[in-house]
Amino acid sequence: MGPEILTERQCKNISRNLIKAVEGRYRIVPLNSLKKSGYTLNRPIYITIEKDKDAYIASLDDIEAFNYADTEFEAINGLCEEIIALYEDLRENRKNLGILPQRWLEYMDEAITMNESS
């Protein structure tokens, strides 16, 4: 018995169902603010929101930052805090960064304006 050949309609249905399954679990959304005074985003940054059983995960893959929380709102706010903490740490240690942290800092320097009073 040979392999089963799918019809075009069956392939489209499989594709549609796969897209629905992925869309139901992951969303990419623009973040327009870091929600802390003294920090301004120069442009939206795109984060991923993932629903994982009883928790939400907000992540910014460009700098490998993420946060888990019970609600989407808490996950996004926690991610904003994580981004700010990482940015401040990288700025303080600018002269001693490896290749990857240096790339993260370059990304954040382009995306974030930090008021000097912060």
pLDDT tens figures, 72-90? 999 999 999 999 999 999 9
Query: Does residue 73 sit within a domain?
Result: yes
Query: Does residue 20 sit within a domain?
Result: no
SS3 50: strand
Residue-level pLDDT at 3: 67
Domain count, the chain: 1
Inter-residue contact 58 to 48 (CB < 8 Å) = yes
Q: Which domain holds residue 103?
A: 27-114
Q: What is the pTM of this model?
A: 0.77
Q: Name the residue with tokens 């679990």.
A: 25
Query: Does residue 15 sit within a domain?
Result: no
Query: Does residue 39 sit within a domain?
Result: yes
The span from the CA of 64 to the CA of 82, in Å, is 10
Query: Does residue 93 sit within a domain?
Result: yes
